Amino acid sequence: MDTLMKDEVFKAFTTYAAIVVLKMLLMGPMTAYHRITKGAFANEEDVARHSADQKKKQLRTDPAVERVRRCHQNDLESVVPFVLMGLLYTLTGPELSSALLHFRVFTGSRIFHTISYVCTLPQPCRGLSWIVGMVATLSMSYRVLSTVLLP
């Protein structure tokens, strides 16, 4: 592990992977915040201490809660493949500048995707940010496969 942490590409990868994973983890508390402030809960046990009338009002969906949940779901669909592919990509021995470009573009796209999703920016903001992140991950995938399949 000590040898890996001396590799500049791997250090860059761990930095940007940690940033996007942390961003993804923060979506859980953001969902909880919206649930509490909007009084919109999904499970009976979440409102067990309330009166029957309150339970009916609070066992519901809310657009703000659902928006954050969808953003979190999108993170799971994008960040996990980035982390896995990024790790394989670092093993192909890419140039530091190329690796930094991939990692920074993906990280920036995910941060902007979250901002555009949660703040309801007009399309194509969210769509373009998703595409940019996907292209970065696909580019790393191409490098991994071409390194393995084309000796």
Domains annotated for the chain, with CATH where assigned, are 4-149 (1.20.120.550)
Q: What is the pLDDT of residues 77-104, one digit of tens each?
A: 999 999 999 999 999 999 999 999 999 9
**DSSP-derived 3-state class of residue 41:** strand
Token code pair at residue 35 = 């649930």
Q: What is the mean pLDDT of residues 53-58?
A: 76
Q: What is the pLDDT of residues 123-150, one digit of tens each?
A: 999 999 999 999 999 999 999 999 999 8
* Mean pLDDT score of the chain: 93
Radius of gyration of the chain (CA): 20
On whether the CB atoms of residues 38 and 64 are closer than 8 A, the answer is: yes
**DSSP-derived 3-state class of residue 27:** helix
Residue 2 burial by CB count (10 A; 0-12/13-18/19+): exposed, middle or buried?
A: exposed
Residues near 33 by beta carbon (within 8 Å), at least 6 away in sequence: none
Check residue 55 and give its pLDDT.
67
Does pLDDT of 41 surpass 80? yes
Q: What is the mean pLDDT of residues 57-67?
A: 88
Predicted TM-score of the model (pTM): 0.91
- Model confidence at 1, pLDDT cuts 50, 70, 90, reads low
